[in-house]
Chain A
Amino acid sequence: MERELNQDSLLHDYTGEISASEASLRAVPDVDLVERVARRDQAAFAELYRRFSGMLLSFLSGLLSDGVAAEDLLQEVFLAVWKGAGRFRRMASVKTWLFNIAYKQGISWLRVRRELPLADFEHLPASGNPEQIALDRVDREVLLQAFKQLSPQHRSVLELVLYYEMPYAEVAQVLECPVGTVKSRLSYARRQMAALISLKGLSAGQDR
């Protein structure tokens, strides 16, 4: 019979003083942690949370543009990790696996709220060759402003590649799409940012 899970011990595992067993967990590879979680190891679960909760929360906050909802979804992600650790396959990296769970939860959250655009920027004029705008000379704030107006899917691809430094193959696993789609979304995102910047006259080049 499975031993009753003790919430207090779970809490202690994460917040309390670092015991010798917890310190030893710090050296355990991610995949082994997941295997231990599959065997209902609470300390390993707490360690997995310690390692990944920060970056997953940032990722979810960016995806949803809603910090409170992101914290709620993060809890769902780790519940899914607890339930699904036994189904983890070593073919994927733990990071990819976790981001995939978070991405799917985030997308379905957006879908329920109908905040997911069917097509991006349909209203934007197709004119404006992005190459004519000196995107490299655009102010960083302006760049981020344009970035935030991209669709959640395109923001995710950019973040996964540029910020989380994932290879395209892993990004494709997170998004459950072909590598070619990752590349086309990157290129599309760049063109859309250029279009947005030129549309709003935000380009530093146009100001002069």
Chain B
Amino acid sequence: MSKAVNSDEDIHGLLPQYASGNLPAADRQRVEAWLEKHPELRSEVAFWEQLRAGLQSQPQAAPGQEVWQGVSQRVVLHQRQAKRSAISILAGLALAGFSLVILWLTIRPGVLLQWTVSGTDQLTYQVYRAPTGSQDFVLLGEVHGTPGVSQYSYLDALFLPGQSYVYRVEGLSPSGSAVVSQGVVSQSLAALPGQLAILLASLLVGYLAASLARNWGSAGPGRLLPA
């Protein structure tokens, strides 16, 4: 059921569209029926028609060739910038990743366990870790003893920042007997500053590389103009 025009308000609202000639047929018939009963509204229709004719009599703008040239230039420039920007982001990410690996391997942030042995037995050292306060020791890795070497170390770089751990080293002789070290408690956040510094430095390197790549060679729109 189509809604009925039942007030002056509704009709007033429809009159401009009626004057523009694109009112749907149903609405058009309702407006015409209403105008039959209220001829005083015809002056309002005439106003809209007069204004429409006035607007139509205005000279219409036509864009010149240079406007299209401007559009083309902007599009071409945008495409090149988008491409350069994508390349520079990729370059930045690659360099940041590369720096991260290099710095991490060079500086080795983490908890460094060092122990000295006095015996001559060739042992295998197993490093265990448990969160402070628990006994859930997990084997992190093994260090194989070398004859004549008394200093050993193990770096634990994979842990949750802020968590402190208890480390334990077990020395296993070939015969299977074990020597267990005392638990060593790491400070929470012990390795965090180093790790953060490396991460930030890598991000900075990546960001600088991306900025350089983006700005490098951007000589402005002048280059795009055809000779």
Decide if B17 touches A5 in the complex (CB within 8 Å): no
Which stretch (A17-25, A75-83, A86-94) binds chain B?
A75-83
Q: Which residues of A are found within 8 Å of B58, using beta-carbon distances?
A: 144
A93-152 contacts to B (CB < 8 Å): 134-136, 138, 140-141, 143-144, 147
Decide if B50 touches A138 in the complex (CB within 8 Å): yes
Which stretch (B63-71, B118-126, B198-206) binds chain A?
B63-71
Q: Which residues of A are found within 8 Å of B54, using beta-carbon distances?
A: 140-141, 143-144, 147
Inter-chain contact total with CB atoms closer than 8 Å: 127
Q: Is B2 an interface residue, CB under 8 A from the partner? A: no
State the CA gap A140–B53 with chains docked (Å).
8
Q: Give B35 Cβ to nearest chain A Cβ, in Å.
A: 13
Decide if B63 touches A71 in the complex (CB within 8 Å): yes
Decide if B78 touches A83 in the complex (CB within 8 Å): yes
Decide if B76 touches A10 in the complex (CB within 8 Å): yes
Decide if A135 touches B43 in the complex (CB within 8 Å): yes
Q: Return the chain B residue nearest A45 by Cβ.
A: B75
Decide if B75 touches A10 in the complex (CB within 8 Å): yes
Decide if A186 touches B74 in the complex (CB within 8 Å): no
The interface bits of chain B over 47-88 (1 if a CB of A lies within 8 angstroms of the residue's CB, else 0) are: 110111111111011111101111111111011000100000
Interface extent on A, as a size class? 35 or more
Decide if B74 touches A79 in the complex (CB within 8 Å): yes
Decide if B22 touches A165 in the complex (CB within 8 Å): yes
The interface bits of chain A over 163-197 (1 if a CB of B lies within 8 angstroms of the residue's CB, else 0) are: 10111100000000000000100110010010000
Decide if A168 touches B17 in the complex (CB within 8 Å): yes
- The listed residue with most B CB atoms (<10 A of its CB), out of A45, A158, A167, A183, is A183
Q: Is B157 an interface residue, CB under 8 A from the partner? A: no
Decide if B61 touches A57 in the complex (CB within 8 Å): yes
Q: Which residues of A are found within 8 Å of B83, using beta-carbon distances?
A: 2
Q: Which residues of A are found within 8 Å of B71, using beta-carbon distances?
A: 49, 74-75, 78-79
Q: Is B224 an interface residue, CB under 8 A from the partner? A: yes
Decide if B51 touches A82 in the complex (CB within 8 Å): no
Q: Return the chain A residue nearest B68 by Cβ.
A: A14
Q: Give B57 Cβ to nearest chain A Cβ, in Å.
A: 7
Q: Is B19 an interface residue, CB under 8 A from the partner? A: yes
Q: Is the interface of B mostly helix, strand, loop or mixed?
A: helix
Nearest first, the 10 closest Cβ-Cβ pairs linking A and B are A136-B46, A183-B13, A162-B52, A135-B47, A10-B72, A75-B70, A57-B61, A79-B74, A136-B43, A163-B55
If A136-B44, A183-B13 are given as contacts, then 18 extra A-B residue pairs at C-beta distance below 8 Å, sorted by A number, are: A10-B72, A49-B68, A57-B61, A58-B60, A58-B61, A75-B67, A75-B74, A79-B75, A79-B78, A135-B46, A135-B47, A138-B50, A143-B51, A144-B55, A147-B51, A147-B55, A165-B22, A190-B47
Decide if B79 touches A5 in the complex (CB within 8 Å): yes
Q: Return the chain A residue nearest B59 by Cβ.
A: A58
Check A8/B226 contact, CB under 8 A, given A53-B63, A74-B67, A147-B54.
yes
Decide if B61 touches A70 in the complex (CB within 8 Å): yes
Q: Give B69 Cβ to nearest chain A Cβ, in Å.
A: 7
State the CA gap A67–B60 with chains docked (Å).
11
State the CA gap A45–B68 with chains docked (Å).
11
Q: Give A38 Cβ to nearest chain B Cβ, in Å.
A: 14
B15-40 contacts to A (CB < 8 Å): 16-17, 19-22
Check A15/B65 contact, CB under 8 A, given A135-B47, A161-B20.
yes
State the CA gap A159–B57 with chains docked (Å).
13
Decide if B22 touches A61 in the complex (CB within 8 Å): no
Decide if A15 touches B63 in the complex (CB within 8 Å): no
Decide if A140 touches B47 in the complex (CB within 8 Å): no
Decide if B16 touches A162 in the complex (CB within 8 Å): yes
State the CA gap A27–B189 with chains docked (Å).
69
Q: Return the chain B residue nearest A158 by Cβ.
A: B51
Decide if A11 touches B51 in the complex (CB within 8 Å): no
Decide if A161 touches B13 in the complex (CB within 8 Å): no
